[in-house]
Amino acid sequence: MTQDLTRDLLLELLHQRFSSVDFGQARRDVLPFLRDPTATDLWSGEFFNAITADHLRLTP
């Protein structure tokens, strides 16, 4: 059985993923590539959930 990927389902899947990310490790992984190390200061599950909910647009 397959399930259609609706906006709500996608948001839930992303929320689950953002909740499991180690943002401290992710930050350490990308810092060598950034000119401004403060660019990752806002990174958190809550931050990515908020911007995803606010900006996710799906087209049919």
Confidence (pLDDT) at 1: 64
Q: What does the pLDDT profile of the chain (60 residues) look like in tens digits?
A: 678 888 899 999 999 999 999 999 999 999 999 999 999 999 999 999 999 988 888 776
Give which of 9, 21, 13, 8 is closest to 47, Cα–Cα: 21
pTM of the model: 0.76
Confidence (pLDDT) at 51: 93
Confidence (pLDDT) at 30: 97
Let me know: does 24 contact 45? Beta carbons within 8 Å.
no
